[in-house]
Structure 1
Amino acid sequence: MAVHAFRMQLKPGTIAEYRRRHDAIWPDLAALLRAAGISDYRIFVDPQSHALFACLTVAEPDRRGGLAHAPVMQRWWDHMADLMEVDPAGTPPNRPREWPLEPVFHLP
């Protein structure tokens, strides 16, 4: 198991809607993430900067490679694009911009 952490960015004024949409996460999206070996996925928000901090556990071997090409993932990104910084010209489009975070401390 490996832990991965990254940052994303919400647009101002969208925290409540972002939370509402995640409270109603689509069952087929949750199933896709679990099938890719993802567990204990958490997202935190800094209400002042609107920065999102995500942390998830990934089973080894890492099977996340195909997630970006899954139709349900692309629909979710389209669904969330109005709330956060995305890459509209990316392949696929509307993928959230992510900045990796480096671990600096762990208390097992």
Structure 2
Amino acid sequence: MRSAWVMKLKPGQEAEYKRKHDEIWPEMVELLRAQGVHNYTIYRYGLLLFAYNEKPDGSPAQTAAINDLVKRWQAWMAPHMETHEDLRPVADPLEEVFRLD
């Protein structure tokens, strides 16, 4: 399954957002891999972020423990991005309109 979405950085937060991803928590990488996520890429165009990942259909769903880790990550990243009140990033899904395999 392929997924893509856009998010938006707050002005002046580009470098810090990049730094935090350069130093991604090992437990976050383990979580993503445990969920079958691969080919996860985030691109930046000005303040606009384009995220893309792939994972097998039927991959494991998030559990309460996983949600705790994700919530900590979201809180750590919230100062740099547009978020909802619960600190989830505002992420708008993208429609796939073309693919060449």
- CA deviation profile, 1:52-107 (whole Å, cap 9, x unmatched): 0000001121434448952111111000000001111xxxx211111000111112
- Give me the whole-angstrom Cα distance separating, in 2, the residues matched to 1:62 and 1:35: 9
* Distance change >3 Å, CA 6–CA 41, structure 1 → 2: same
TM-score (norm 1): 0.86
**SS at 1:30's partner residue?**
helix
> How do residues 4-15 of structure 1 correspond to structure 2 at under 5 angstroms?
4-15=3-14
TM-score (norm 2): 0.91
Aligned-pair distance for 1:36? 1.1
Q: Report sequence identity in percent.
A: 40
- CA deviation profile, 1:32-60 (whole Å, cap 9, x unmatched): 1111111110000112xx11000000112
Tell me the matched-pair count: 101
**SS at 2:80's partner residue?**
coil
Residue 73 (structure 2) aligned to one of 69, 73, 76 = 76
Q: CA RMSD in A?
A: 1.7
Structure 1 stretches lacking a partner, 5+ long: none
Which of 1 and 2 has higher RCO (CA within 8 Å, sep 6+)? 2
Decide whether the 8 Å contact of 2:6 with 2:49 is kept in 1.
yes
Structure 2 stretches lacking a partner, 5+ long: none
